[in-house]
Amino acid sequence: MQYAALGAARVEVSRLCLGTMNLGSRATPEESHAILDTALEAGINYVDTANTYGSPGRPGIAESIIGDWFARGGDRRERTVLATKLFEPTADWPNHGGLSALNIRRACDASLLRLQTDHIDVLQMHHIDRAARWDEIWEAFDVLRRQGKIIYAGSSNFAGWNLAVAQGAARDRGNLGLVSEQSVYNLAQRTVELEVLPAAEHLGIGVVAWSPLAGGLLAGTPTGHQGRRTDPGETVRRDQHRGQIDATADIAGDLGTTTAQLALAWLLTRPAVVAPVVGPRTVEQLCGLLPAIDLVLSSDVLAALDRVWPGPGGQAPEAYAW
Taking alpha carbons only, the member of 262, 259, 260, 266 closest to residue 286 is 260
The confidence score (pLDDT) of residue 232 equals 74
pTM: 0.93
The pLDDT of residue 220: 85
The tens place of each residue's pLDDT in the chain, 322 residues long, gives 999 999 999 999 999 999 999 999 999 999 999 999 999 999 999 999 999 998 777 889 999 999 999 999 999 999 999 999 999 999 889 999 999 999 999 999 999 999 999 999 999 999 999 999 999 999 999 999 999 999 999 999 999 999 999 999 999 999 999 999 999 999 999 999 999 999 999 999 999 999 999 999 999 864 333 344 456 778 888 888 999 999 999 999 999 999 999 999 999 999 999 999 999 999 999 999 999 999 999 999 999 999 999 999 999 999 999 9
Report the distance separating Cα 118 and Cα 112, nearest Å: 6
Which residues are designated catalytic? 53
* pLDDT for the residue numbered 56: 76
Pick the CATH number of 3-308 from 3.50.50.60, 3.40.710.10, 3.20.20.100, 3.20.190.10: 3.20.20.100
SS3 string of the chain? CCEEECCCCCCEEECCEEECCCECCCECHHHHHHHHHHHHHCCCCEEECCCCCEECCEECHHHHHHHHHHHCCCCCCCCCEEEEEECCCCCCCCCCCCCCHHHHHHHHHHHHHHHCCCCEEEEEECCCCCCCCHHHHHHHHHHHHHCCCEEEEEEECCCHHHHHHHHHHHHHCCCCCEEEEEEECECCECHHHCCHHHHHHHHCCEEEEECCCHHHCCCCCCCCCCCHHHCHHHHHHHHHCHHHHHHHHHHHHHHCCCHHHHHHHHHCCCCCEEEEEECCCCHHHHHHHHHHHHCCCCHHHHHHHHHHCCCCCCCCCCCCCC
Half-sphere exposure of 121 (CA within 13 A, CB side): 19
Domain ranges of the chain: 3-308
